[in-house]
Amino acid sequence: MEMDIVILLGGLAVGVGTLASAGYYFARYLIKTDDEKAIEQAREAAAIEAAKEVEKTPATVIPLRAEPAIVPEPPPTLDHTLRGTRDSFWGKIQKSLLGAGEIEGSQLETLEEILYTSDLGTTTVSRLLDSVESQLSRQEKKSLDVVKSSLKSEVEAILTSVPKMGRSPFENFATRTKPQVWMVVGVNGAGKTTTIGKLAHLAAQQGAKVLVAAGDTFRAAAQAQLRVWSERAQVEIFAPEGVTDPGAVAFDAVKMAAARGYDLVLIDTAGRLHTQENLMEELKKVKRVMQKLNPEAPHETLIVLDANSGQNALVQAQKFHDTLKLSGAIFTKMDGTAKGGVVLGLASQLQIPTVFLGVGESMDALTSFKPQEFAEALFH
């Protein structure tokens, strides 16, 4: 009995204790003192102010893909491309003769000196000098504008006197026999493979079915380089593994193109110096081998010349012309050279028509050569 009372009293004590502590916590958290209420209100107000500040700040948008938009660059204009050449030619003439009065004696010598250092070639220099010295009256020689227009007409006359100058090899393309075969030759690094890529692109854009043939069997990376260009231009490539004879590549490419209805075969060749007789002979052989299939092939034999090589380009062209009978020239790297005057040299000395100009490294950077436009840009 006593034991029961002890348990009962113990239970009561625990119950009262629990109630007391529950009451304390109720009073502590729900019934707040005035001080506590004031602190809480201040905190709330501060939080609202802070939220308003965040709202005022413009949101920073982080795009999912922060890649710059790809805007295709337009190919540079000829006027822009020729600025280096223009500065070293007409720019220099203008600077040294401005305000000189009548151009005679020492001024004529200065003019001659500038012309000789402009990579024009001796024949062109004589013609240009003559157009000022003998064809202008004393009065006319006093005007820089008259001198300019006389030089410009002479430049135009030199360029247009070459048969087929500025003719595009794509002229009447659709009506020509299939496949047209173009062989591209030149010294090492002139820009042959790049130019083939550009030509392939141009032809493909005009709807032609194009095959590029990896006739440079000499340089290890040559096939791979041409493959990259063929992918860019979205044209087919003929590049057999392990074939070391460029004649065999050209032959098989032309054969395949004829069988499969290609419109154009562009044959890349290994770079070689015009002085390497055996390698020049090799090119003759490539040509002969193709002619067994098609006596008219190659329909175009185009030399690629680096404009930076200046007068040496004329020596190269002469030798390649003697060996292969060139049908046209393409000057590359006209952008960023001061030696573009060599285009005139090629016309007046060798009568080889320039058909395209390379004006940059991209696929679109190939422009048709137009004599008037060239003369215009040279004297702008």
Ligand X SMILES: Nc1nc2c(ncn2[C@@H]2O[C@H](COP(=O)(O)OP(=O)(O)OP(=O)(O)O)[C@@H](O)[C@H]2O)c(=O)[nH]1
Which residues lie near ligand X (CB under 6 A)? 186, 188-194, 216, 219, 222, 271, 304, 332-333, 335, 358-361, 365
Say how far residue 365 (Cα) sits from the centre of its chain: 5
Torsion-angle region of residue 206: left (phi > 0), alpha (psi -120 to 50) or beta?
alpha
335's contact among ligand X, Mg ion, none, with CB below 5 to 8 A by partner kind, is: ligand X
Strand-pair partners of 331: 305, 357
How far apart are CB 218 and Mg ion at their closest, in Å? 9
Cβ pair 272, 202 in contact under 8 A: no
- Minimum distance from residue 193 beta carbon to Mg ion (Å): 3
* Amino acid identity at 71: V
Q: Minimal distance in Å, beta carbon 379 to ligand X?
A: 22
Site for Mg ion in 106-125 (CB under 5 A): none
Between 141 and 192, CB nearer to Mg ion? 192
Cα separation, 303 vs 110, whole angstroms: 34
> How many C-beta atoms surround the C-beta of residue 210 within 10 A?
26
Using CB under 5 A, which residues numbered 144 to 203 contact Mg ion?
Answer: 192-193
C-alpha 234/C-alpha 362 separation (Å) is: 15
The answer to whether 303 touches 316, Cβ cutoff 8 Å, is yes
Torsion angle (degrees, nearest 10) of CA 130, 161, 335, 90: 20
Residue 199 interacting entry, from Mg ion, ligand X, none, C-beta within 5 to 8 Å by type: none
CA distances from 304 to 76, 170, 360 (A): 20, 17, 14
In the bound state with ligand X, the residue whose beta carbon lies nearer, of 191 and 246, is: 191
Q: Which does 341 bind (CB under 5 to 8 A by kind): ligand X, Mg ion, none?
A: none
Residue 341's SS3 state is: coil
Q: How far is the CB of 214 from Mg ion (least distance, A)?
A: 9
| Shorter beta-carbon distance to Mg ion: residue 77 or 276 | 276
Q: How far is the CB of 290 from Mg ion (least distance, A)?
A: 19
Out of ligand X, Mg ion, none, what residue 361 binds, judged by CB under 5 to 8 A for its kind, is ligand X
Q: Which of residues 11 and 240 has its CB atom nearest to Mg ion in the complex?
A: 240
246 binds, among Mg ion, ligand X, none (CB under 5 to 8 A by kind): none
List residues bridging with 306 in a β-sheet: 332
The entry of ligand X, Mg ion, none that residue 345 binds, CB within 5 to 8 Å by partner kind: none
Residues 6+ apart with CB under 8 A from 156: 371, 372, 375
327 contact choice in Mg ion, ligand X, none (CB below 5 to 8 Å, kind-dependent): none
Contacted entry of Mg ion, ligand X, none for residue 267, CB cut-off 5 to 8 Å set by kind: none
Between 127 and 333, name the residue whose CB sits nearer to ligand X.
333
Measured torsion, CA atoms of residues 113, 115, 121, 125, in degrees rounded to the nearest 10: -100
Host H or E run for residue 64: none
Is residue 299 a contact partner of residue 181, using CB atoms and an 8 Å limit? yes
Minimum CB separation of residue 197 from Mg ion in Å reads: 10
Contact between residue 304 and residue 195 where contact means Cβ atoms under 8 Å apart: yes
Supply the minimum distance, in Å, between the C-beta of residue 62 and ligand X: 37
Task: Select the residue whose beta carbon is closest to Mg ion and give its number.
Answer: 193
- 191 interacts with, out of ligand X, Mg ion, none, CB within 5 to 8 A per kind: ligand X
Instruction: Return the CA Rg of the chain.
Output: 40
For Mg ion, how many residues bind (rule: CB under 5 A)?
Answer: 2
Choice between 77 and 188, CB closer to Mg ion: 188
Quote the strand ranges of 270-322, DSSP E: 300-306
If the CB atoms of residues 90 and 229 are measured against ligand X, the closer one turns out to be 229
What residues have CB less than 8 Å from 164, skipping those under 6 apart? 328, 353
The whole-angstrom separation of Cα 160 and Cα 158 is 6
Which one, 93 or 250, has the nearer CB to Mg ion? Answer: 250
Minimum CB separation from Mg ion for residue 336, in Å? 20
Q: Which is nearer to Mg ion, 197 or 345 (CB)?
A: 197
Minimum separation from the CB atom of position 187 to ligand X (A):
7
Q: Which residues bind Mg ion (CB under 5 A)?
A: 192-193
